[in-house]
Amino acid sequence: MTELERWEKEAQKNKELKKQLSLINKTELEEAFSGNLSFGTGGMRGIMGLGPNRFNIYTMRKANYGYGKYLLKRYKSEVYRGVVISHDNRENSRNFAFESAKVLGALGIKCFMFEDLRSTPELSFSVRYLNAVGGIMITASHNPSKYNGYKIYDEDGCQLTPVYADEVIKEVNAVEDVFSIPTKEIEELKALGLFKMLDNEIDNAFIEKAKSIQLFPDLEKKVKIVYTPLHGCGAEPAERILTECGYDASFVKEQFVHDPGFKTVKSPNPEETKAFEMAEALGKKVKADILIATDPDADRVGLAVWDSKKYVYLTGNQTGALLLYFRLSQEKKMKILPKKGRVFDTIVTSSLGSDIARSFGFKVTSTLTGFKFIGEQAKLLEGTKEEFIFGYEESYGYIIKDYVRDKDSIQSLLAIAEMANYYLVKENRNLIEVLNEVYEKYGYYLNRTKSYFFEGIEGPKTMAKIMDYYRREDINDFKGYRVLVKEDYENQTRLQYSTKVKSGLSLPKSNVIKYYLNGVGWIVLRPSGTEPKLKVYIESKAKNMEEADRIITEIFEVIDVKIGEYK
């Protein structure tokens, strides 16, 4: 009620705000004013609307004011280097981008903006290209159209890791009145030299850098590709790079429209097969070998492969393993394989990729979930004798070369196209056949993720109770599959069940629990940092895919029952 009164008082001075407040019904009012939209280590994401628990210009100003104060404390006079701001195709995204510049500019921080939407990977690239002190990306990734979001970056083009994000959070939480945050208009900022619009110089540099990941740029192009950006930022760079590299690509033109409502798809998420419906229809028409889709901010990429009579959709783990296997095996043949290097994945990424990397003599580092941790590790390799080999996570994000310090669908889709083309031209095989070869060589790995949604005011409390149960109880088995080790990343402990010995974990604190099972895989429980859901990841390894599937199904039956008790 205190917050509502504050907003109503402000509305007396703002006719538009007063009108919008009057249109909110009682239920929406309660949710919109029941708390503050969470600003966490992954930034901020929420439903657009009025109120402190919604994504709007006022909560945006609060976030930017906190980020700006952090930048001034950390970089002091260096802030003249500026902050790069980009946005996706969502409703109000460009307005939110300008609002970010208006707040930072009022603090004396120069801002750069593109003339139109640009992708997350290009934003990451541009921060380093311009030697800026940070970056902002306005996007809600693959969430429904009613959402928008805000991600912040450091001077290396990497999302802020917890140690720095926590400093920003302190500054954000210190803001008591969102209506008193100072802003300056864009024209005034231009006159003061605190705002600059960017031309296509960075676009060209970004595309040329992406082309550098190719192993066989001159190989005949036979593979047929269908690509869709799902209405997002990938449209222009993906079309350009596939065309300039000589690929036979067809494009889902209806989804090249930057529609903020995503009217042609139920969800603009390349992890879901339904997002490919129009791509698949076009693929069958032109007899495409592969279908590629990217999400709205073009950091994730999904893949489907024509195999005999239908398109087979690959998971993020499968695509990542294939890319890693292809590139390492070819670089070995070409005798350009680095002597020392490191592959990066996360604690919820399939173990298949790490097995492949180690078979080629490379070390593997598994980070917490979130590409910012992989970007952080890439930075640590600078100045060492180890090279960055590959980085990926199960949620359809990959980087081949680390000139981008976040997931990059542009270099990834080019790498996928080259891989599919190579096997078609040189070996007359499709990627499913190659994947089966990998399974035969390394074992049949299967991964499945399930999300349990807990929306509304009680949602976070319910998820906390579930995590507390698994954290508190020493569960010995799941459906007969014995637990060997339990890792609790919140308490930073590792429990060895056979000896009951506890040891520490070196990774940062995170609300994650992982169980290693006797010879068959692992289980991870993790509440999402940006959405009202609890995610459960399970991996199994078996002699064939049928057995691997049975193991996962049986384990989920146990977990479903337990989580169902809290519904």
Catalytic positions, written as ranges: 141
Q: Number of C-alpha atoms within 13 angstroms, CB side, residue 8?
A: 10
Written as six digits, the tokens of 213 are 């990941």
The count of other CB atoms within 10 Å of the CB of residue 536 is 22
Give the Cα separation of 332 and 286 in Å (integer).
35
Q: Which of 406, 358, 346, 364 is nearest to 537 (CA)?
A: 346
Give the Cα separation of 179 and 9 in Å (integer).
10
- DSSP 3-state of 14: coil
The conformation of residue 77, written as its DSSP 8-state character, comes to: G
Give the Cα separation of 71 and 63 in Å (integer).
12
Sign of the alpha-carbon dihedral angle for 335, 341, 343, 344:
negative
Written as six digits, the tokens of 135 are 């970056």
Paired strand residues for 478: 481
Burial of residue 478 (CB within 10 Å: 0-12, 13-18, 19+) is buried
Q: Which of 396, 394, 337, 344 is nearest to 365 (CA)?
A: 344
Give the Cα separation of 303 and 323 in Å (integer).
12
Q: In angstroms, how far is CA 197 from the centroid of its own chain?
A: 26
CB of 486 closer than 8 Å to CB of 566: no
Give the Cα separation of 316 and 555 in Å (integer).
21
CB of 103 closer than 8 Å to CB of 180: no
Give the Cα separation of 487 and 524 in Å (integer).
9
- Helix-helix angle 459-472:545-564, to 10 degrees: 110
For 322, list phi and psi in degrees, rounded to 5.
-65, -45
